[in-house]
Amino acid sequence: MPAEYEAEIAALEARYAARPTGNIVFYGSSSMRLWPRLARDFPAVEIENWGFGGSTLAQCTAFFERAVVPRKPRGLVFYGGDNDLFLGASPHDVWNSLGALLDARDALLGAIPFAFLSIKPSPARGELLTQIIESNEWCWREIESRDNALWVDVFTPMLDSDGAQRPELFVADGLHLSRAGYEVWRDVLKREVPWLSG
């Protein structure tokens, strides 16, 4: 497993060790980790935030058995994939990693409810937009083929009526979400994922 994230995973294990299992787990890269109002945005359910670092979808898959499985989640919300592309992975690689993550879910937890947020259109990663769109298409097809899996499109509502990126949804780095960006994600998830309403 990637040693660079060992300290973060260990800290998350310590944070949640004494808490009851069976909650909703939000898992993925720093876009999950940095969600400041996550628990307050979904007050009807108990939530654990297992986002870590600048992790890739592939790394989240590698840590899945250690990080997520012991929590026995009753639902899993996932975001990842854009870091993979930034580090040179292809859309096909992203799709393969998603398939491996879902295979792990099925084998280790059964087909618990799974919501996959599409890769976002970050201004800082404008040069990857074509690959992001292609990855989202591959991942959508994978989600559609799986039991108890939901595709959650956050890509489209993060564009304006002309199809341009909305910088107000991001902080100064053009990569991570502003409060307004997280409000878009919150509203889409509340609309599309019924098990986040209790």
Coil vs helix vs strand at 33: helix
Chain centroid to CA 7: how far? 20
Q: Record the tokens describing residue 105, joined without a space.
A: 């879910």
For range 156-168, the mean pLDDT: 94
Quickly list DSSP for 134-163: HHHHHHHHHHHTSTTEEEE--TGGGB-TTS
What is the rounded distance in angstroms from the CA atom of residue 13 to the CA atom of residue 3?
A: 15
Give the angle subtended at the CA of 194 by the CAs of 9 and 117, to the nearest 5°: 50
Task: Show the DSSP H helices in the chain as ranges.
Answer: 6-16, 30-33, 38-41, 57-67, 82-86, 91-109, 129-144, 179-192
CATH number of the CATH domain containing 183 = 3.40.50.1110
What digits encode the pLDDT tens for the residues 90-133? 999 999 999 999 999 999 999 999 999 999 999 999 899 999 99
What is the rounded distance in angstroms from the CA atom of residue 115 to the CA atom of residue 18?
A: 26
What is the rounded distance in angstroms from the CA atom of residue 24 to the CA atom of residue 42?
A: 10
Is the pLDDT assigned to residue 172 strictly greater than 70? yes
Supply the pTM of this predicted model. Answer: 0.96
Compute the mean pLDDT over every residue in the chain, rounded to the nearest whole number. 95
Residue 136 structural domain: 3-197
What is the rounded distance in angstroms from the CA atom of residue 56 to the CA atom of residue 168?
A: 25
Domain count, the chain: 1
What digits encode the pLDDT tens for the residues 126-153? 899 999 999 999 999 999 999 999 999 9
